[in-house]
Structure 1
Amino acid sequence: MYYQFGKVRPHLTTRSLNPENQETPIHFISFIEPVADSIFYRRNHFPYPILTPESFTLKISGSVHYALLINYSDLLKLPSKSKRVLIECSGNKRAYFEEKVFGEQWENGAMSEGVWKGVPLKNLLEYTGIKAGVNEVVFRGRDVGVKSSQLIHYERSLPIAKALHTDVLIAYEYNGKPLSQKHGFPFRLIVPGWYGMASVKWLNEIILIKDKFTGPFQTNDYVYYYKNGTSEQVTTNHVNSTIQQPQDKQLVKSGTHEIKGIAWTGSGVVSKVEISFDKGDSWEQAKLKKIPKEHQTVSWSYPMEFKSGNEYHISVRATDNEGKTQPAEAIWNKKGYGYNAIMQITVKAE
């Protein structure tokens, strides 16, 4: 006699609880449909902020002609747009650096994708009137904590040109429902094409400045510190791919199976995904499941016959239409950002 427990569902993989950091079960879900809110990866620096009446107002200040204080209900009445966008943590795949670095040891699941609805930031800034000489736009979240012995908000900035891109949104919905508390309700910035640190959650205030923002999450964290002593800010997502199935060291049944996964890039679109069974000596093209779109993953597959008793070394790399291809080895940096080396797994057929 067997008990029927219903459908078995994948769950988040915990990396830390305080603050909460959890991975999407990327190997067990399809990215063809938007990722459900309940299994959207969670990345936090501080505890979740407490909702208060003030949480439902958004302030725009600084170098503007008319400061603006807009409440949640009024924002919902403004012209909006919806856009499917990938959000990927810059530390995604950090665990795979051969020379290990400190930080959350994310594997492949610090990324998710869905449909965001909101008001283009450009429209709001035009309402306020931007003064001449504005260089950056600062975004302050309501999440607060201690960093370097100081109590601070999570804050980031964007260059004014990026902030005025029509795809940058002040989002209030995800997949047709109001944002959940854990993903930024009531206001969240969405910056397509940039790593997730730019998409500030629980947005509280937008400040236009003429100088350069120097907050710790801008000039200390989210910076590539290279071995040669140089550094640069983390911005655009690197071209990348993941094998979802099979998994590394998995025993697979003999016969023909689909090797499948996803690929993405921060600028442009994925143009091809290639697969190798001889450690990169030769490559064959995988099939893309749909026409690639900007700021979204594209699913791919490759049918393969697995023969009992054989081991298979599988490598996958993506290339985008700007000519960027995943490297054999990711560029090491002190904080472990932007890992995008060719993905490699080994499986055995039985």
Structure 2
Amino acid sequence: MADPKHHVVKPYLVTRRLHPENQETPIQFIENDRIQTSLFYRRNHFSYPNLTYSNYFLPINGMVNTPLLISLQSILQLPSKTVEVVLECSGNKRSLFEPKVFGEQWGKGAISQGVWKGVPLRTLLEISGIKEAAKEVVVEGYDFGKRTDLDKVFSYTRSLPLEKAIHPDTIIAYEYNKQPLSFKHGFPFRLIVPQWYGMASVKWIKQISVMASPFNGPFQKIDYMYYPNLENDDGAHPVTTINVNSTIQKPLDMAKINTGKHVIKGIAWSGKGNITHVEISTDNGHTWSKAQVSASKSSYKWVSWSYEWNAVEKGIFSILSKATDSSGQTQPIKPYRNRNGYGYNAIDNIKVMVE
């Protein structure tokens, strides 16, 4: 019989839904900056697609001089680019909205990061030659299903403005953490769009089309829009760049701890620049102290931070974390309220009991 003292307990994904599969990273138990594939969050609108890879070709069409049908092998032979990027679902932390909003009730784990390798989308667009009238690049995935709101079948399809599509770090990825991209995360190819929420990083790429007019598919113009008014669509605008944010990983929310020294630790990230500082409050926001933040030269990654707290008194304490980025944005006290519950980034807040 195995010795229970030597039994290694490992974290595993937190299931939010089975059909389609939506699971989040156990972010409170993550110790490093690169999330292994098995713990990378899974966000699906539909069932996984049925694909055969033996004869995979990627069409590039629309407002291009030379439409292409490029093979998987040819893409793998093109000059590659490697980027370390955080991907965050725009619905991350949706369950924290008060009052509640409808949608997948994500906790704090619809976020993961690692190293992606692939071909810049720009390279493929340059090979096909973009016409002068081009405005957007539409990327269609193989995943599809019926939308009950429209009573019609759609594939998951999104567009990028041309300037974002041709950014050198927007890549068509085929590797993650030096391993072939897993099927559940988009094999053989997925788009990676740094600094934007994960809905832009289309999986299982089926085709790429360059357009002269705005794309109006339902995942572009109905979903992934901020609707600030609950009753109507006034003021609607698209979800794009990741908001400045932070998450406390340790201690756990509602934990009981002893008096003495404790390390409060977590992560912080933003789509609008580097994290410049993280502040911690152990008295529900009355006073703030600066945490130690790990240095990062990349604005595409989260940073780790830590703060040593000497818990002298017994009682219930609210611990808060507040991040600020290089564009001057700081986490707000209250989140931006919107109908679909996107972009939650209020100051993180947990409670502990000191005994």
Give runs of aligned pairs for residues 51-62 of structure 1, distance below 5 A.
Answer: 51-53=51-53, 56-62=56-62
Deviation at 1:313, TM superposition (A): 1.5
Aligned pairs for 1:123-202 within 5 A: 123-147=123-147, 148-202=150-204
Q: Alignment partner of 1:325: what SS?
A: coil
List gaps (5 residues or longer) in structure 2.
Answer: none
Residues 306 and 55 (structure 1 numbering): CA distance in 2 closer, same or farther, change over 3 Å?
Answer: farther
1:191 counterpart letter in structure 2 = V
Name the aligned partner's letter for residue 207 of structure 1.
S
Q: Which amino acid in the other structure matches residue 82 of structure 2?
A: S
RMSD: 1.4
1:50 aligns with 2:55: no
Shift of 1:205: 0.3
**Which residue in the other structure is 2:17 paired with?**
16
Query: After the TM superposition, which residues 1-350 of structure 1 pair with which residues of structure 2 at under 5 Å, given as runs?
Result: 3-4=4-5, 6-32=7-33, 34-53=34-53, 56-147=56-147, 148-227=150-229, 229-291=234-296, 293-307=298-312, 309-350=314-355
Deviation at residue 276 of structure 1 after TM alignment: 1.2
Moved more, 283-292 or 87-96: 283-292
Post-superposition Cα deviations, 1:21-41, rounded to whole Å, max 9, x if no partner, equal 000000001243x10000000
Q: Is the 8 A contact 2:274 2:325 kept in 1?
A: yes
* C-alpha displacement of 1:209: 0.4
1:292/1:298 contact within 8 Å kept: no
Q: Secondary structure at the match of 1:76?
A: helix
Q: Is the 8 A contact 1:267 1:295 kept in 2?
A: no
Distance 1:5 1:50, change over 3 A: farther
Report the CA distance between 1:289 and its aligned residue: 2.2
**CA distance in structure 1 between the aligned counterparts of 2:26 and 2:284, rounded to whole angstroms:** 27
Q: State the TM-score, normalized to the length of structure 1.
A: 0.97
Cα distance in 2 for residues equivalent to 1:265 and 1:65: 37
3-state SS of paired residue (2:4): coil
* CA distance in 1: counterparts of 2:282 and 2:314, whole angstroms: 16
Q: Distance in 2 between matches of 1:341 and 1:303?
A: 23
Contact 1:188 1:203 in 2 (8 A): yes
CA distance in 1, matches of 2:16, 2:140: 25
Q: Distance in 2 between matches of 1:217 and 1:67?
A: 25
C-alpha distance in 2 between matches for 1:218 and 1:95: 23
| CA positional deviation for 1:282 | 2.1
2:202 corresponds to which letter in structure 1? V
SS at match of 1:113: strand
Distance 1:84 1:55, change over 3 A: farther
Contact 2:281/2:289 (8 A) holds in 1: yes
Measured after TM superposition, the shift of residue 4 of structure 1 is 4.5
- Give me the identity figure in percent: 52
**Aligned-partner residue type, residue 210 of structure 1:** A
Change (3 A) 1:49 1:202: same
Q: Could you tell me how far 1:55 is from its partner in structure 2? A: 6.8
Shift of the alpha carbon at 1:86?
0.3
Check 1:174–1:243 CA distance in 2 against 1; reply closer, same or farther (3 A cut).
same
Change (3 A) 1:292 1:247: farther
Q: TM-score, normalised by structure 2?
A: 0.95
Q: Check conservation: 2:142, 2:205, Cα contact below 8 A.
A: yes
Between 1:291-300 and 1:239-248, the stretch displaced more is 291-300
Deviation, 1:290, is 2.5
Q: 1:230 to 1:108 in 2, by over 3 A?
A: same
Q: Contact between 2:140 and 2:202, CA under 8 Å: does it hold in 1? A: yes
Instruction: Output the amino acid matched with 1:144.
Output: F
Residue range with higher mean Cα deviation, 76-85 or 252-261: 252-261
- Tell me by how many angstroms 1:271 deviates: 0.5
Q: Is the 8 A contact 1:270 1:292 kept in 2?
A: no
In structure 1, C-alpha distance between the alignment counterparts of 2:118 and 2:206, rounded to whole Å: 15
